[in-house]
Amino acid sequence: MQCPECGNENPDDAQVCKSCSSALATRDTQQSKQKAKTGVMVVCAAGLAGLSCILAILIKPTLAFLAALFGFCSAIAAIAKFLRSERKAKRTTIAIGIVVLIFSSLQMLILTYWRIDAAPIPNDYTINDIRSAAPEYNQTYTLLNSLSDDNDDATDALAIGLSKEDLKNLEEINNIFKEDDLRTISEQLQANADNILSIWQNAKKGRDVLVKLDSFPEIADLTVPKLEIDVPFAPNLRRLAFLHRSYVCLQSSKGNHENVINELTRCDSIFKKMSLNAHSLITRLVCIACFAIDIQTTNFIINNPETPHELLWFLKQHIVPFSEEHTSLRNSMIFEYLICKNELTKISNDPRLRHPIFSPLKLNSALRLYRNICDKWIAIEENRTHIKELRVWPALYPNLPVKIDSEGKLPWYYKIYNPVGAKTIAILTPAMDRVISIRTRLEVHSDLLQILLNKRLGREVSLKARAYSDEYIVDTENRKIFSPGPDGRINTKDDIKLRINPDVLGWRN
């Protein structure tokens, strides 16, 4: 037995050191202390293993890994002491130590796999994949932005030449078009003719910009992919579209058909040029809104009994149905992907999330998932039934399916694997079902307009519907042609309709 004070060796049964006379512990006491110490180490190892599980459930992978590592080291140390102790003292406790050792090893292995990200996307989308106007037309974007007011909170629209009073009067004139009867609309427009012409003259500054824009074969959109998208020209562009509708319909009522042709074709041309190169979803929706205003204007002219046959043929040749390029959402979906990519890259570079062991953001996996979402919508656009999805998991992982459900939620297991990436995607993914519904509404309106134009020209018409029903419905009693809309029921709020004059179109009860 070794003396703890001087280190001198003494017989095993000695109670006092023969060198320094210090009291010596008995063999049983030493064994008890050693067993107590090793027992504490086993309990500590088991506790750390349990703590690691709790931290993993709480999605704290770094702390979970460290707890598992310390538990593993404690189990190794305890087993080593047990192996040096007497045989009677080690059977049960060494089994516990081995279990804790295996459990901690598995935890570290799982957590190590957890930290692996998917591979980068080869040949990923860039801004060059978005359709854009040629560089020589970049000045059109400056022209477009000249329609925006410097002060977003302004109650006037000085950028297009309209005062606060003009805007108030324009709003009242727009309310005229909420009437269900085209004859009533015509009468009220003529009653407000002076106001319309006054606002028209005051808006010369804005109208001159539109004339310049129409002189270019293309209109550029230089919007860059960032989270805070701003389309400063949108409010005044819509105001000009509303003003054109009032002015053109008034001129149609008065029989000034040359003015009708010039203004109607100019608006149609500008909006179609804008739509071809629109980048963001916001700009796309602005174009769709302006298209819808143009359709209402053209419909008024078609149903006007004074509209000459020559003008109808002109409309047939120049106000043509939208092409797939005019209503395509491909540009906007790629643009939304680039926004998400920029934001996820910024998050990944945040010092608070850059950890040497674990990161709660798997950048490549998140990008692959968002890319799959965008490619799915693009495939729907292009009527493709099959797309090759990118794998969102590392190569060592099982390829579990990862989809966003109708509520915008991702599977629980992906949230655990990539908590920050899953949260970011859920926030940034646009409500594309809603956008496509708005786009389909526009296309249905375009179909209805062509039916009415052909009917007025004495041509055979087909009522075959694009969506929501087999055929469009002509209701001469309520003076409308319509689609039942997404709910599939007639005469509800979501009906997609155009007003008609059955007498002019040759439809009778």
**173-220, pLDDT tens digit by residue?**
999 998 888 999 999 999 999 999 999 999 999 999 999 999 999 999
Q: Which residue pairs from 159-165 have beta carbons closer than 8 angstroms and sit at least 24 positions apart in sequence?
A: 159/205, 159/206, 159/236, 160/203, 160/205, 160/206, 160/207, 160/209, 160/236, 160/239, 160/240, 161/202, 161/203, 161/204, 161/205, 161/206, 162/199, 162/202, 162/203, 162/206, 162/239, 163/202
Q: Give residue 338's Cα distance to chain centre.
A: 11
pLDDT of residue 152: 65
Q: Which residue pairs from 351-355 have beta carbons closer than 8 angstroms and sit at least 24 positions apart in sequence?
A: 353/420, 355/62
Question: Domain segments of the chain: what residues?
Answer: 27-114, 133-220+233-328, 332-430
Contact (CB, 8 A) for 457 and 312:
yes
Percentage above 70 pLDDT, the chain = 75
- Residues 50-69, mean pLDDT to the nearest whole number: 58
Average model confidence (pLDDT) across the chain: 83
pLDDT of residue 409: 85
Residues 202-240 as b/e (b if ≥16 CB within 10 A, e otherwise) read bbeebbebbeebbebeebbbebebeeebebbbbbbbebb
Task: Kindly list the distances between the CA atom of residue 173 and the CA atoms of 96, 170, 188, in Å, as whole numbers in the listed order.
Answer: 84, 5, 9
The helix/strand/coil state of 287 is helix
**Predicted confidence (pLDDT) at residue 82 exceeds the cutoff of 90:** no
**Predicted confidence (pLDDT) at residue 38 exceeds the cutoff of 90:** no
**412-426, pLDDT tens digit by residue?**
889 888 888 899 998
**Predicted confidence (pLDDT) at residue 495 exceeds the cutoff of 60:** yes
d(CA 350, CA 343): 11
**Predicted confidence (pLDDT) at residue 104 exceeds the cutoff of 70:** no
Contact (CB, 8 A) for 383 and 328:
no
**Predicted confidence (pLDDT) at residue 75 exceeds the cutoff of 50:** yes
**234-281, pLDDT tens digit by residue?**
999 999 999 999 999 999 999 888 888 888 899 999 999 999 999 999
Task: Kindly list the distances between the CA atom of residue 426 and the CA atoms of 164, 415, 423, in Å, as whole numbers in the listed order.
Answer: 41, 10, 5
Query: Is pLDDT larger for residue 134 or for residue 29?
Result: 134
Contact (CB, 8 A) for 311 and 261:
yes
**114-137, pLDDT tens digit by residue?**
778 899 999 999 999 999 999 999
The helix/strand/coil state of 111 is helix
Question: In the chain, what are the helix, strand and coil shares in percent, each to the nearest 5?
Answer: 60, 5, 35
Quickly state the pLDDT bin for 63 (edges 50, 70, 90). low
Q: Give residue 143's Cα distance to chain centre.
A: 28
Sequence letter at residue 294 = D
Q: How many CB atoms lie within 10 A of CB 475?
A: 17
pLDDT of residue 103: 63
Task: Kindly list the distances between the CA atom of residue 150 and the CA atoms of 76, 154, 213, 227, in Å, as whole numbers in the listed order.
Answer: 70, 8, 20, 21
- Residues 19-35, mean pLDDT to the nearest whole number: 54
**Predicted confidence (pLDDT) at residue 11 exceeds the cutoff of 90:** no
pLDDT of residue 53: 59
Residue 157 forms beta bridges with which residues?
162
Quickly state the pLDDT bin for 97 (edges 50, 70, 90). low
pLDDT of residue 382: 76
d(CA 143, CA 146): 5
The helix/strand/coil state of 222 is coil
Residues comprising the chain, all counted = 509
pLDDT of residue 397: 85
Query: Is pLDDT larger for residue 89 or for residue 507?
Result: 507
What pTM did the predictor assign?
A: 0.78
Q: Which tokens in the block code for residue 471?
A: 């055929």
Quickly state the pLDDT bin for 147 (edges 50, 70, 90). very high
d(CA 426, CA 411): 11
Quickly state the pLDDT bin for 319 (edges 50, 70, 90). confident
- Residues 141-170, mean pLDDT to the nearest whole number: 88
**456-484, pLDDT tens digit by residue?**
999 989 999 998 999 999 999 999 999 99
pLDDT of residue 327: 87
Contact (CB, 8 A) for 347 and 353:
yes
User: What values do phi and psi take at 299, rounded to 5?
Assistant: -60, -40
Lowest-confidence region among 11-15, 114-118, 165-169, 199-203: 11-15
**335-355, pLDDT tens digit by residue?**
999 999 999 999 888 776 665
Task: Kindly list the distances between the CA atom of residue 430 and the CA atoms of 33, 74, 482, in Å, as whole numbers in the listed order.
Answer: 66, 50, 29
Residue with the two structure tokens 């179109």: 505
pLDDT of residue 30: 47
Query: Is pLDDT larger for residue 180 or for residue 75?
Result: 180
Q: How many alpha carbons fall within 13 Å on the CB side of residue 409?
A: 4
Residue with the two structure tokens 């409500």: 431
The helix/strand/coil state of 153 is coil
pLDDT of residue 2: 63
d(CA 291, CA 200): 20
Helix H or strand E segment including 497? strand 496-499
